[in-house]
């Protein structure tokens, strides 16, 4: 029986960028409401089983308190510790259970730790974080429908999803971590409050997605050379004085002009060496990897990122196939409804 997973991160949307920039606190009660709509969408599309990540706020349990859905909803079998590793563990468990699609609620950081647990199960990322490039701002009801369409095979995976690239962080050549959007080398020694907001400390930027309309480091690259989410290429930028000035929205409400001294398009397998120590590499906006100088750290563009559900594409495929609008047996298709004037 088809299964959908839900990983709702209670910690997303609360980091220091509410203070140093103008990010909104994404409160957990809103995540409850989003999950509620996802569940209703799943049920409407005929899903019967849902596995969720247990969390300290009990997001999914709270969502179920206000609705009655014909779904068997059960937690992934592990104890939540209130750590990012919960999302990784949940993704691992869901893959082992044969989940057909995992809906995530979080930002780039949340999806990064989910990808650390599984890249095999298609992920449908709903944005509830800060600098969101990987997840999309989509209506949860539609996300629920789309997740069910994919999990139940009503829309073939190849029509609904695309394979993302990712950035692998290598320590002495061995994979140590990953990023789904950006890996940024900064002059810092502490992981501290994790976020990166002081652009003057940023030396090197590696991107596997870059769009002029996005936010965060991805926008800096995107304003020079766009890289589509499903394109097998990346970008490498070096920042410094005397470079080409690029004015970009680096965080919510924070627009900075940076000097780009080097811009290079990366192909799959290309590697960038992290220069200078001590330093910290921020992955998808969070300081994660300390570089002490005792080992060689590099970043490689990999083609083996997560499979991502594109909701627009999924719903378009469902429309083409008439999944939600089946033709009446022996009858003609419904005529297009004319526009009705509202006044």
Give me the residues that bind other proteins (CB under 8 A), please.
10-11, 14-16, 18-20, 24-25, 27-29, 56-58, 81-82, 189-194, 198, 278, 292
Q: Do residues 227 and 234 touch, judged by C-beta distance below 8 A? A: yes
Q: Which is nearer to other proteins, 171 or 194 (CB)?
A: 194
Looking at the DSSP bridge assignments, the partners of residue 246 are 258
With H, G, I as helix, E, B as strand and everything else as coil, classify residue 290. strand
The least CB distance from residue 201 to other proteins, in Å, is 9
Torsion of CA 29, 31, 34, 36, to 10 degrees: -60
Looking at the DSSP bridge assignments, the partners of residue 262 are 238
Q: Which is nearer to other proteins, 58 or 307 (CB)?
A: 58
The least CB distance from residue 17 to other proteins, in Å, is 8
Q: Which is nearer to other proteins, 16 or 263 (CB)?
A: 16
The least CB distance from residue 198 to other proteins, in Å, is 7
Q: Which is nearer to other proteins, 36 or 152 (CB)?
A: 36
Peptide bond between residue 278 and the one before it cis (omega within 30 degrees of 0): yes
Q: Which is nearer to other proteins, 201 or 271 (CB)?
A: 201
The least CB distance from residue 193 to other proteins, in Å, is 4
Alpha-carbon distance 106 to 9, whole Å?
6
Backbone angles phi, psi at 253, to 5 degrees: 80, 5
The least CB distance from residue 82 to other proteins, in Å, is 8
Q: How does DSSP classify residue 108?
A: H
Q: Which is nearer to other proteins, 57 or 217 (CB)?
A: 57
Alpha-carbon distance 176 to 179, whole Å?
11
The least CB distance from residue 86 to other proteins, in Å, is 13
What sign for the dihedral angle of Cα 82, 121, 165, 270?
positive
Q: Which is nearer to other proteins, 56 or 262 (CB)?
A: 56
Instruction: Catalogue the long-range contacts made by 120-124 (C-beta closer than 8 Å, 24 or more residues apart).
Output: 120/95, 120/307, 121/5, 121/91, 121/94, 121/95, 121/307, 122/150, 122/157, 122/160, 122/161, 122/306, 122/307, 122/308, 122/309, 123/306, 123/307, 123/308, 123/309, 124/150, 124/308, 124/309, 124/311
The least CB distance from residue 342 to other proteins, in Å, is 35
Longest dimension (CA), the chain: 73
């Amino acid at each position: 029986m088809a299964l959908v997973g839900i990983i709702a991160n209670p910690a997303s949307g609360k980091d220091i960028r509410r203070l140093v920039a103008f990010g909104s606190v994404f409160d957990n009660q809103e995540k409850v409401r989003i999950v509620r709509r996802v569940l209703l969408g799943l049920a409407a599309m005929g899903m019967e089983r849902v596995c969720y990540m247990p969390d300290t706020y009990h997001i999914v349990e709270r969502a179920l308190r206000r609705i009655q859905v014909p779904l068997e909803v059960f937690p992934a079998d592990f104890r939540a510790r209130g750590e990012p590793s919960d999302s990784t563990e949940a993704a691992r468990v869901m893959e082992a259970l044969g989940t057909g699609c995992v809906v995530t609620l979080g930002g780039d950081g949340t999806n990064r730790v989910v990808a650390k647990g599984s890249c095999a199960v298609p992920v449908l990322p709903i944005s509830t974080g800060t600098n969101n490039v990987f997840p999309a701002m989509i209506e949860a009801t539609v996300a629920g429908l789309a997740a069910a369409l994919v999990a139940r095979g009503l829309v073939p995976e190849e029509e609904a999803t695309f394979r993302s690239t990712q950035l692998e962080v290598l320590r002495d050549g061995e994979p140590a971590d990953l990023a789904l959007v950006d890996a940024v080398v900064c002059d810092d020694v502490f992981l501290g409050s994790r976020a990166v907001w002081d652009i003057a400390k940023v030396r090197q930027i590696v991107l596997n997605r870059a769009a002029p309309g996005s936010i965060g480091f991805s926008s800096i690259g995107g304003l020079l050379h766009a890289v589509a989410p499903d394109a097998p290429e990346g970008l490498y930028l070096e920042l410094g004085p005397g470079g080409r000035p690029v004015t970009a929205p680096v965080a919510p409400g924070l627009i900075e002009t940076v000097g780009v001294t080097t811009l290079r398009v990366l192909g799959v397998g290309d590697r960038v060496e992290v220069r200078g120590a001590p330093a910290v590499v921020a992955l998808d906006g969070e300081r994660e990897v300390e570089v002490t100088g005792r080992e060689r750290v590099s970043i490689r563009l990999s083609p083996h990122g997560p499979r991502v559900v594109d909701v627009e594409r999924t719903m378009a495929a469902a429309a083409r196939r008439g999944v939600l609008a089946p033709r009446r047996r022996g009858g003609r298709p419904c005529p297009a409804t004319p526009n009705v004037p509202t006044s």
